[in-house]
Structure 1
């Protein structure tokens, strides 16, 4: 919603500073909405009015120092010009305060707003009156809130205000938000506060959990009998509150002791009920006390018999190893589980939990299609290594995902992972990443447990976030165990007991004979030529046919042979994944999908529209032109046979029928999956063996024919599709052999 006074502030900047060009920026959008662009412009305007020549979006040391040196404080006695005052008034409005009429007058309304600002910041006692001081001016020119915002805690806000009020006069302490949310800035400020109370001088205190801070905290245990009142109790209860523990801010009471015991048990710390060093550490930094000895580990080095013995002797029980290494010739040749390694782990009395990672180091890696592909590959590799049903596979998010990126990229990715793992295997989904991303994926229901990368203490997804509620392994340090041939470097992890890995393994499933991704560089062009030649030989031209007029083709968007081929080849990863999981030939699924895409006609579009309008209950739809009733029957059969997992639906139930039809129409991945299941179901309907990797000609043609029903037309359909199948299988076979 537009705010009239913010709009006036935007117009003031544009009018006064030549549409922003004087400030080295473009014209502000005059929309009446506050945000960083407005705050950056106002910051630059303030710098300009103070005579700073190198203008910047940042309210940095130069801006701060210039205010102090030139004016000391800002009020009606020191503000040098009307425009300078208008900048202050505009900033107040952008922060939600009454800045007067943006008339260049530091009047009673402005003074009241500044007083309210300082009160909300928690610094009114330090800065009484109505003058802005350098640090509170800095706090005015950003997007921090000083009132509790949506989802925030009033108790956390009281801690933020207390920190501001007590430490604002220290050199390196700046006003932190008072919005009721823990954050990176708040976490650093709490560490600064602890360092100040330990006696560190300005310039020495830096907000880093270093050796001096750790040493000091070891002599500042708080409990019901030690430091139960005073600033150390306040700092400790503040740390508890910021980690979302429900305690009262202030004294270390018996109620606090009880909550501390609960927190210690949750974090797998010694349950002392006191604020000892290990507890302080777990509250202040994600990795906590790195001297803790874990019982779990993970690593990129093969576990040999000697290394297994070293781990066992060091008290380790659980070993995390990677299912797959996309770069086996790179710097980490042993990252993937090696042949015979799981038997070694088992024989040593250890247990293994699998991790799946390819790249996963930037937001653009994560999306629905990649989630499906990762899940299928993880299933493949887990079966290859012999992991049993019930195993949790940890899918990595190996970068500092911002909260917005978790929403837009990571959550859809894991939704696809969960659906694919749940439907196509007996495995469970875990997530490996920073605290925030782990918690959000778990809250969304797309992972059951998490492996927390707490060593990455600088990640914004760790700073200011508590340990995830369903953590299984907490990665806190990198150490070396053993010596000689038994020496290996590991990530030392604390185990919660929520996942104990696997201690026994199946023989493993071979990849021999399975389809692989098409070698597109080598075969795409020639494959398209052969597909077009074959279809033309049976009367299917590049465009048109099947009742199409030139006008309908242009209006409705008919799909050419080249376009149908391109769509199928672009989705080759999905056809490959389904074929490998179902142990069928990829061409069996590709052929009907490519055919039905090419053969879409005006009647198909009309039928879809009729279902969408509620005039019909069902029709063939989507890439594979499947009826919802057929999809439900096929899926129910595959569920009953244990081929896939899920809950059966009733095609006589209109709600079930419409829900499946909508998925078939809107979700082409769901549609293609349903094509594969229908082809397997067709074998059951015909009373013949299921399609398999042999590519039996009679079985293949019969299943393809049944895709179009029964009778002479179906037989012709099967014969025509068998020709297309052979063209596709020829190139798939070449890729398999490469």
Structure 2
């Protein structure tokens, strides 16, 4: 709908790997059942197609989950292609790569043949405009919790706790509930700054699910440094969004300077200022949520003073807006976690969390 695809268009959902029989049974068929259920919930605006090996396409079609197949026949080494017949419902067959041009202008393209079963779409509706976010529908919270739980478990995060030094201190439900407590503020910040709520929600949710015993120990060292002069740890990533006092000060200073917010400029090199802001981050969830929004505004301008890896290639997003492209969202999520040594893997994992929050925000704002 956002891109103007008309009702009745067939969308080919991809299985872009060589899924063997047990994977098709355990993963692919339930995935396509979910697609069918979701499409039915939306009033069946689009036809459902499947892209994949011959075996994948045949089995998805036989289960009644697709109405046409787009075959990945070019992958001749796929187990799912070898010895399998062309499905009767094939619409497109991707069978060979051809090279066009030469030198710097050389381009490899996939060649397809068409049966005529599907004719694509030659005209489009006007794209659906980006609209502001609204309050999250509380009736959707159980489904949101369940979706987040399933995804986080799939990447190794149990709903509760953990073992030993890897133990995490916030559960899936605690993280969702903390966000819901701040939903009015998050909605207001989203509307004020033209920022998708999911950017704020993802930063907080991911930080809470990551916060563990080691982080708690670092926080205790910060308290010891400022209250009793013990140790050398004067700052840490703390609170429900794991923000350091230093980063918070820089983000607030940046946004005060650009007129995004008001306040007093503080000194990120001054212990008293770090401690003052750190305590608020540690105890005041509303202050932390505001700071998340300001960090995203700081990040969109390149995060001066940020700690990106040496030689890192940075793609600068456009100014903050509701219609940022996925690569721009990915860049902002990466910059938010610029201090983390596992930032690349976690950026892509947190993008999936962003997409889950955006799913439910989209349902609410387009209701």
- Per the shorter chain, which TM-score range? 0.5 to 0.7
Please tell me whether the aligned partners of residues 193 and 320 of structure 2 are also in contact (alpha carbons under 8 angstroms): no
The correspondence for 2:171, drawn from 543, 560, 565, is: 560
SS in 1 for 2:301: helix
Deviation at 1:631, TM superposition (A): 0.5
Deviation at 1:548, TM superposition (A): 4.5
* Structure 2 residue 128 is the aligned partner of structure 1 residue 517: no
Equivalent residue for 2:151? 534
- Structure 1 712/559 Cα, relative in aligned 2: closer, same or farther at 3 Å? closer
* Structure 2 residue 238 is the aligned partner of structure 1 residue 621: yes
* Structure 2 residue 331 is the aligned partner of structure 1 residue 709: no
Between the two proteins, the alignment pairs up a number of residues equal to: 221
- Structure 1 712/662 Cα, relative in aligned 2: closer, same or farther at 3 Å? closer
1:260-292 C-alpha deviation (Å, 9 max, x unpaired): xxxxxxxxxxxxxxxxxxxxxxxxxxxxxxxxx
The correspondence for 1:600, drawn from 211, 220, 231, is: 211
Please tell me whether the aligned partners of residues 165 and 214 of structure 2 are also in contact (alpha carbons under 8 angstroms): no
Equivalent residue for 1:315? none
The correspondence for 1:573, drawn from 184, 187, 190, is: 184
Please tell me whether the aligned partners of residues 596 and 625 of structure 1 are also in contact (alpha carbons under 8 angstroms): yes
The two structures, once aligned, show a CA RMSD in angstroms of 2.1
User: Which ranges in structure 2 are unaligned for 5 or more consecutive residues?
Assistant: 1-128, 226-230, 303-313
> TM-score scaled to structure 1, two decimals?
0.29
The correspondence for 1:645, drawn from 250, 256, 262, is: 262
1:446-473 C-alpha deviation (Å, 9 max, x unpaired): xxxxxxxxxxxxxxxxxxxxxxxxxxxx
Which residues of 2 match residues 85-234 of structure 1 at below 5 A? none
Deviation at 1:692, TM superposition (A): 1.6
1:63-94 C-alpha deviation (Å, 9 max, x unpaired): xxxxxxxxxxxxxxxxxxxxxxxxxxxxxxxx
* Structure 2 residue 357 is the aligned partner of structure 1 residue 722: no
- Structure 1 618/712 Cα, relative in aligned 2: closer, same or farther at 3 Å? closer
User: Which ranges in structure 1 are unaligned for 5 or more consecutive residues?
Assistant: 1-510
- The structure, 1 or 2, with the larger RCO (C-alpha pairs under 8 Å, 6+ apart) is 2
The correspondence for 2:220, drawn from 605, 609, 617, is: 609
Deviation at 1:545, TM superposition (A): 3.8
* Structure 2 residue 284 is the aligned partner of structure 1 residue 667: yes
Deviation at 1:579, TM superposition (A): 0.8
1:271-330 C-alpha deviation (Å, 9 max, x unpaired): xxxxxxxxxxxxxxxxxxxxxxxxxxxxxxxxxxxxxxxxxxxxxxxxxxxxxxxxxxxx
Which residues of 2 match residues 300-319 of structure 1 at below 5 A? none
Please tell me whether the aligned partners of residues 160 and 172 of structure 2 are also in contact (alpha carbons under 8 angstroms): yes
- Structure 1 536/634 Cα, relative in aligned 2: closer, same or farther at 3 Å? same
Please tell me whether the aligned partners of residues 632 and 660 of structure 1 are also in contact (alpha carbons under 8 angstroms): yes
Which residues of 2 match residues 285-304 of structure 1 at below 5 A? none
> TM-score scaled to structure 2, two decimals?
0.57
Please tell me whether the aligned partners of residues 301 and 319 of structure 2 are also in contact (alpha carbons under 8 angstroms): yes
- Following the alignment from structure 1 to structure 2, what is the Cα–Cα distance between the partners of residues 735 and 713? 33
Max Rg structure: 1
1:594-617 C-alpha deviation (Å, 9 max, x unpaired): 111111100111111111111321
